[in-house]
Structure 1
């Protein structure tokens, strides 16, 4: 599953709320299919751990790669040392072997650092997208609550005004 699935679910929730019909005499309110909304929210809840799990898997793969790179460096060091020992008789050959080993180690360490950085950036990006999707869903829910409260307050105000008008008419009739 991708973060696009999370965004798709959020879009579906938004569309269902936007397309919801208003009951008679309550234009500021909407009626939505509760089961459908709960199903979409359950599906969204199920998708979010998948995104987090993917980020954790990436971090785990990065750690495994770093460990493999360290083993490669150790193996290369042993190999370089073995090659150097076989050529001990000549100091220039020994120097060249040590230099080659140093270069191999430096190259492996640089490669390890670069891959570590790339893996971190990807994991950070995946977590940021997940956070944004969750925040967008939360913001939408907050907006809908505000709209609901506003519509409810307006309905209450209209109802009071009607009752006051009827009370005034009743007093005038008496």
Structure 2
């Protein structure tokens, strides 16, 4: 039987990876039932304790993901504030230069460029942040799904 060990860059927290390793180790070291290489005898209390630890580690990972989302919102708000400051700055510059037609045209163009740049930077930051958060949440969901499936299989074996 081949047991896959999670890679360090799999998106799991060190705590979650450690708890999964402990569960995996417990199952690998469990004595097998007589006449069966696949069925093992395990200490239910120990496995339930490991499942509790996995749940706690998963909660911590979800809280970390929520922190990332909050940080994303803060970064987006800062980007919007910066864009507003740039637009305001451009408007002030435009008013100052309004007396001369050529200067006015240049100021209008510069204001539009600054606004477009700020909006583009905010949009890029939003996309990158959304992609990062989406990737982390997808990895967490996949990990939790695999873990839950493994726990359910173990419970079925214990119950069956």
Structure with a larger share of its residues in helix: 1
Distance in 2 between the 1:35 and 1:101 partners? 67
CA separation in 2, counterparts of 1:17 and 1:111?
50
**Which residues of 2 match residues 57-76 of structure 1 at below 5 A?**
57-76=67-86
TM-score, normalised on structure 2? Answer: 0.79
Rg comparison, structure with higher value: 1
The ranges of structure 1 where at least 4 consecutive aligned residues each deviate by more than 4 angstroms after the TM superposition are 26-29, 145-149
Residue pair 2:86, 2:118 contacting (<8 A) in 1 also:
no
CA contact (8 A) 1:6 1:133 kept: no
Q: TM-score, normalised by structure 1?
A: 0.73
**Contact kept? 1:7, 1:133, Cα under 8 Å:** no
**Unmatched 5+ residue regions in structure 2?**
1-10
Q: How many residues align?
A: 148
C-alpha contact (below 8 Å) 1:3/1:129 kept by paired residues: no
Gaps of 5+ in 1: 153-174
Aligned residues: CA RMSD: 2.4
User: Is 1:101 matched up with 2:107?
Assistant: no
